[in-house]
Amino acid sequence: MKTVIISVLYILLTVALFVPAGLYLQWALPEDGPYESVFSLSSVPILIVALVLLWTVRKARDGTTRRAGTVAATCLLVFFALAQVFVWVPQISRRIGPWVELRSLLIRKSSEVEDARTQSGIPADRDLTGEEMTRIEAMVFEPPEKFVFPLLNKKVTLRMMSIRPPYVGIDYGGGRRVVLDLESMKAMYAD
């Protein structure tokens, strides 16, 4: 029985080693990316299994098995609980890694759109028309601004996507786009 419990704990720890890569992949996707929900939903049962193993190992008579199992199960619980926080709180995960540079690009481009709006004499108290949006897009986004997520080599393009601030969004290609609130980094619009 002890061998089975320890083997299961080692398997779970091995899985846990691959989760940081999954979190990094999650950073390169829009907030409603398909992998966030799958990761989050799959980590909940692993959390439950770790809790059960923690309870089972604590009943073991051998002191070494009990200590090793307790440490392993506790590490799993903490790791997957923190992973849940990163998935469900984009204010945290979108302020580290490559998102820092991307956020600064979004802020800069949004500021350039505001400057182009002022230069064109468009009042700030109304939304842009389609014609004004096209004109400003030609002024600010020629040539298009590109960003590459390192490690993944995932290329995205910054585009004018909204008639009101923050104006600028991320085009992932294949019809996947997202406009982020530049303060909270939550998706305001995604398709």
Are 111 and 150 in the same domain?
yes
Average pLDDT per 10 consecutive residues for the chain, totaling 191 residues: 69 59 51 53 68 70 74 74 66 71 91 92 89 92 88 84 88 86 80 79
Domain region containing 118: 99-190
Q: How many domains does the chain have?
A: 2
109 and 73 co-located in one domain = no
For residue 93, tell me if it sits in a domain: no
Domain match, 106 and 67 both = no
User: Do 117 and 186 reside in the same domain of the chain?
Assistant: yes
Question: What confidence score (pLDDT) does residue 117 get?
Answer: 92
19 falls within a domain: yes
CB atoms within 10 A of CB 45: 10
Distance CA 156, CA 162 (A): 17
* Domain boundary, last residue among 56, 88, 120: 88
Q: What is the pLDDT of residue 36?
A: 55
Where is the domain boundary, 63, 88, 113? 88
- What pLDDT is recorded for position 90? 61
> Would residue 94 count as lying in a domain?
no
Asked if 73 and 124 sit in the same domain, the reply is: no
From 57, 88, 119, give the residue that closes a domain.
88
Residue 15 lies in a domain: yes
> 96-133 burial, b if ≥16 CB within 10 A, otherwise e?
ebbbeebbebbeebbebbbebbeeeebeeeeebeeebb
What per-residue confidence (pLDDT) applies to 21?
52
Lookup: tokens for 24: 């990094």
Residue 136 counted as domain residue = yes
